[in-house]
Amino acid sequence: MKSEKLAINGGSPIIQDDSGKFIHPIVTPQIEKAVIEQMHSTLSIYDRSGIFKDFEDAFAEYHGKKHGLVTSSGTTALWSLYDSINLKKDDEIICPIYTFHATVNPILQTSAKPIFVDCDKTGNIDPERIAQKINEKTKAIMITHMWGYPCKMDNIKALSKKYGLYLFEDCSHAHGASYQSKKLGSWGDAAAFSLQGNKIITGGEGGIIITDNNEIYKNCVLHGHFGKRTKQEIDPNTEDFKYAVTGKGLKLRAHPLAIRIAHEQFKSLDDINRQKNEHVEIIRDYVSNINGIELNQGYADSVNSWYALILKLDKEKFNCDIELFCKSLNAEGGVEFDIPNATSPLDTLELYKKPSHFFKNYKDENLVDGEYPMSKKFSQSIIKMPVWYRKEDTAIVENYGKILNKVAKIYEKVN
Ligand SMILES: *Cc1c(COP(=O)(O)O)cnc(C)c1O
């Protein structure tokens, strides 16, 4: 049987035009109209009103939460969460080693210390390994639902309850996902979502916090807001109210245009995720014929948001390394196939190996206190792709499946 020639070796690519590019967000006429309306209304919102209130209410309600607070970014949303629990020197926060670095970075702005935990075979933080790292200094657990795959929240929630720890969720990949029929972002004491340009719901830049906890909410307001919003929201009978003019002195306010854009997309979130699930099934069918590639499996009872579809490669099964495999997929017109190097385990980062370069309170500490073999293995064996979310993009998804089949066939080891 004669096999086709790979595009990377001069063969003809499966996708011949630029249709393999993932365009996100889709700027609909509704978004255009809303943005123009917003520009003529206001471009800076000082208190909890207008589009801030609309989006905070809608987003909180969707998750069954009491409070929503929009922020300038996901990173600042996370920072406010860490700041909200009154951390002291030597307090410890349990965090995933395998996450985007912004999940953990803001801890360095507090007096606490991140304690890293390895992942399991899903790529998410391993509940059993969390248990091993809890001690009397532990104050909180931060988890990330990586790539939109839900963490094992029943076990993690049970741990946080048992030891009296705050539980925070970084839901920046997980808009609309759920575990055991409960929305991600509603499991812990509070959650942060990024609304940055790549994220499922986006305003270009922005973030949002949701919580039921009045104290956390109030502290987040004080952390990044001042003047009208603090005066409106802080109880006048408290000591905090004396600080309403300044808050804690930072301004982490969102941009109204960003929030307006995010709010328009948010209206379609469930439809987006439903269509993604159909497209994932197409890829699953293609991959089921390939010996050596599998879709990363999450936990049972998960509804994934498919921020990215994660393909796991078994190197032993192919005559090439993962880099060449990915380049070959790209050459076929599957330009979005990607080895996510920007999201490699945090033990590789100078910021954690030697934080004292910027943060004097860490002295000579190395915050990387061990080996994280599962994260290393996971991150070195995956290729990700986006999941298109409009019916009219099904043909692109089919082509991505064909590309996987073609490239895998040619590199397949035959024995
Ligand atoms: C994007 C992202 C962040 C940071 O969000 P920004 O809005 O870019 O500041 C944090 N955590 C994760 C997991 C992310 O993907």
Based on the fold, state whether residues 63 and 130 are members of the same structural domain: yes
Q: What's the confidence (pLDDT) of residue 3?
A: 61
Burial class (CB in 10 A: 0-12, 13-18, 19+), 398: middle
Rounded distance, CA 189 to CA 218, Å?
13
* Residue 8 CA from chain centroid, whole number: 32
Based on the fold, state whether residues 302 and 367 are members of the same structural domain: yes
390 domain residue, yes or no: yes
What is the CATH classification number for the domain harbouring 310?
3.90.1150.10
Based on the fold, state whether residues 124 and 255 are members of the same structural domain: yes
Check pocket membership of 99 for ligand 1, CB cut-off 6 A. Answer: yes
177 domain residue, yes or no: yes
Each of the 415 residues of the chain gets a pLDDT tens digit; together they read 446 899 999 999 999 999 999 999 999 999 999 999 999 999 999 999 999 999 999 999 999 999 999 999 999 999 999 999 999 999 999 999 999 999 999 999 998 999 999 999 999 999 999 999 999 999 999 999 999 999 999 999 999 999 999 999 999 999 999 999 999 999 999 999 999 999 999 999 999 999 999 999 999 999 999 999 999 999 999 999 999 999 999 999 999 999 999 999 999 999 999 999 999 999 999 999 999 999 999 999 999 999 999 999 999 999 999 999 999 999 999 999 999 988 889 999 999 999 999 999 888 889 998 999 999 999 999 999 999 999 999 999 999 999 999 999 999 998 6
Token couple for 1: 């049987």
Backbone phi, psi, residue 138, to 5°: -65, 130
Closest-CA residue to 333 (of 3, 6, 4, 26)? 6
Cβ proximity of 6 and 328 under 8 Å: yes
Show the beta-strand stretches assigned E in 121-216.
138-144, 166-170, 178-179, 182-183, 190-194, 207-211
110 domain residue, yes or no: yes
- b/e map 129-141, b = 16+ CB within 10 Å: bbbebbeeebbbb
**Cα dihedral 111, 210, 102, 370 sign:** positive
- DSSP class per residue in 104-126: TGGGGGSS-EEEEE-B-TTSSB-
2 domain residue, yes or no: no
Closest-CA residue to 269 (of 306, 241, 244)? 306
Based on the fold, state whether residues 280 and 327 are members of the same structural domain: yes
Based on the fold, state whether residues 280 and 344 are members of the same structural domain: yes
140 domain residue, yes or no: yes
Domain boundary among 225, 240, 266: 266
Based on the fold, state whether residues 171 and 287 are members of the same structural domain: no
Rounded distance, CA 26 to CA 200, Å?
11
Token couple for 181: 């029929």
What contacts 320, CB < 8 A, 6 or more positions away? 328, 411
Based on the fold, state whether residues 175 and 261 are members of the same structural domain: yes
Provide the phi-psi class of 54: left if phi over 0, else alpha when psi is between -120 and 50, else beta: alpha
Taking the centre of ligand 1 as the mean of its atom positions, its distance from the CA of residue 395, in whole angstroms, is 30
Taking the centre of ligand 1 as the mean of its atom positions, its distance from the CA of residue 338, in whole angstroms, is 18
Taking the centre of ligand 1 as the mean of its atom positions, its distance from the CA of residue 410, in whole angstroms, is 37
Provide the phi-psi class of 199: left if phi over 0, else alpha when psi is between -120 and 50, else beta: beta
Q: What domain count does the chain have?
A: 2
Mutation test of ligand 1: which of 95, 98, 103, 346 has the most ligand atoms closer than 8 Å to its C-beta? 103
Based on the fold, state whether residues 258 and 301 are members of the same structural domain: no
What contacts 131, CB < 8 A, 6 or more positions away? 159
Based on the fold, state whether residues 18 and 152 are members of the same structural domain: no
Q: Is the pTM of this model over 0.95?
A: yes
Taking the centre of ligand 1 as the mean of its atom positions, its distance from the CA of residue 207, in whole angstroms, is 9
Token couple for 211: 């919580």
Mutation test of ligand 1: which of 70, 171, 184, 196 has the most ligand atoms closer than 8 Å to its C-beta? 196
Check pocket membership of 148 for ligand 1, CB cut-off 6 A. Answer: no
HSE, side-chain direction, 13 A CA sphere, residue 318: 25
Amino acid residing at 71: T
369 domain residue, yes or no: yes
Check pocket membership of 168 for ligand 1, CB cut-off 6 A. Answer: no
Domain extent, residue 358, equals 7-23+269-411
Taking the centre of ligand 1 as the mean of its atom positions, its distance from the CA of residue 74, in whole angstroms, is 5
Q: What's the confidence (pLDDT) of residue 172?
A: 98
Check pocket membership of 230 for ligand 1, CB cut-off 6 A. Answer: no
Q: What is the Rg, in whole angstroms, of the alpha carbon atoms belonging to the chain?
A: 22
95 domain residue, yes or no: yes
Based on the fold, state whether residues 310 and 358 are members of the same structural domain: yes
Cβ proximity of 274 and 303 under 8 Å: no
HSE, side-chain direction, 13 A CA sphere, residue 205: 8
Cβ proximity of 80 and 213 under 8 Å: no
Please identify, by atom number, the ligand 1 atom nearest to the C-alpha of residue 144.
13
Check pocket membership of 196 for ligand 1, CB cut-off 6 A. Answer: yes
1 domain residue, yes or no: no
Based on the fold, state whether residues 203 and 160 are members of the same structural domain: yes
3-state secondary structure of 368: coil
Based on the fold, state whether residues 40 and 108 are members of the same structural domain: yes
Domain boundary among 232, 266, 300: 266
Rounded distance, CA 117 to CA 373, Å?
11
Neighbouring CB atoms inside 10 A of 226's CB total 20
What is the CATH classification number for the domain harbouring 155?
3.40.640.10
Check pocket membership of 72 for ligand 1, CB cut-off 6 A. Answer: no
Q: What's the confidence (pLDDT) of residue 105?
A: 98
Rounded distance, CA 145 to CA 127, Å?
13
Taking the centre of ligand 1 as the mean of its atom positions, its distance from the CA of residue 355, in whole angstroms, is 20
Rounded distance, CA 166 to CA 139, Å?
6
Domain boundary among 214, 234, 266: 266
Token couple for 154: 């029943």
H or E segment and range at residue 161: helix 153-163
Check pocket membership of 124 for ligand 1, CB cut-off 6 A. Answer: no
Closest-CA residue to 150 (of 116, 117, 130, 122)? 122
